[in-house]
Amino acid sequence: MEDIHQDPFPPLHGPSPPPTASVDFPPHFRCPISMELMQDPVTISTGVSFERANIEKWFFTYNKKTCPATMQTIVNFDITPNYTLKRLILSWKMKESCSSTSLLPSSSMEYHDVVADLLKNIESSPFKASSLKKLRLLMAVDDVAAVGAKPVFVRVNGFEILVRIVTQVAICECSDFANFEACEEALGVLSQFPFSKTEKPFELLSEPEAIKSMAIILQRGSIEGRFYAMEMLQQISKKGYDWNSLTKHQIIDLFKSILELASDEIIKKASAIKTMDSSTITQWYNIIVHTHIFILYSFILIAN
């Protein structure tokens, strides 16, 4: 079945080198058919994930009617991208690559250089998404980010730079793909930072243009972009954001965006055929419900 959803994690430039025998990758990253590290994982109706090319050959070339892993009879042959698993594999590959080639900075000064260079590229280049993606993946490697990247990001005004990118979607009010993709990647970085109401990120993300940009992403973004926007709105809601600071029109737009997301076929399909693991589905649901309630309550107050 043809995939109609855009892959938020496009393949890296050039072919990926095959894993060597010395690399012991997590077993759930292994395709049950080829026993190799998956590059483009997809999930079938039994809830098991496979490398796309392998399971398509199993179903549509060899005309098999069973799941290769469980041997259950298959009635629904839909194949759905597993973006959550793909993100985990990409993060693991980056960590392994850095560790094996000693590319990870070894001091706070080196971390400063790496993060500062990425932010400089993000500010100066019209093609910001590539550097933002690298920054997001760097932040996702927990043991690395905890000691180096995240503190440096805060010190070199990373929040201010990325929030400016986020607000461009609302300011320009255009469908420029580069701005849109950059906004989603910036939200992906920002969503990895918890913050309190008294901190700078809350102040920056509470600006009407930032809220408007997140509403636009909720309406027209990729599944990952929507998830990042919902995470940020949940954080803002929990910290006591004053929704009355928005105009009635902005509240209505945001409320409509959340209603559209709550009824979106993507989430229904993800829940029905286990595209995501159960914890991820629960996280989506909690974020949507929590943010929905906050904005609905504020909408009623403003309407009165």
- Summarised one tens digit per residue, pLDDT across range 259-272 is 666 655 445 444 44
- Residue 165: the pLDDT is 94
pLDDT bucket at 177, cuts 50 / 70 / 90: confident
Q: What is the DSSP letter of 147?
A: I
* Nearest-10 Cα torsion for 69, 71, 77, 80: -20
pLDDT bucket at 9, cuts 50 / 70 / 90: very low
Lookup: tokens for 256? 């409509």
Number of neighbouring beta carbons within 10 Å of residue 113: 13
Which amino acid is it at 89?
I
Largest CA distance in the chain: 66
| Residues 230-254 pLDDT 10s | 888 888 877 666 666 665 666 666 6
Q: Which helix (H) or strand (E) holds 50?
A: strand 49-51
* CATH class assigned to 27-81: alpha beta
Most confident of 103-117, 178-192, 273-287: 178-192
- Residue 162: the pLDDT is 96
Whether the per-residue pLDDT at 102 is higher than 60: the answer is no
- Residue 200: the pLDDT is 81
Whether the per-residue pLDDT at 273 is higher than 50: the answer is no
φ, ψ of residue 226 to 5 degrees: the values are: -65, -40
> Quick one: average pLDDT of 24-37?
88
Instruction: Give CA angle at 285 (296, 5), nearest 5°.
Output: 105
Mean pLDDT of the chain: 73
Q: Tokens 């980010």 label which residue?
A: 145
pLDDT bucket at 71, cuts 50 / 70 / 90: very high
Q: Which helix (H) or strand (E) holds 184?
A: helix 177-190
CA–CA separation, 230 and 249 (whole Å): 19
Whether the per-residue pLDDT at 16 is higher than 70: the answer is no
> Quick one: average pLDDT of 145-173?
82
Pairing relationship of beta strands 41-43 and 49-51 according to DSSP bridges? antiparallel
Whether the per-residue pLDDT at 37 is higher than 70: the answer is yes
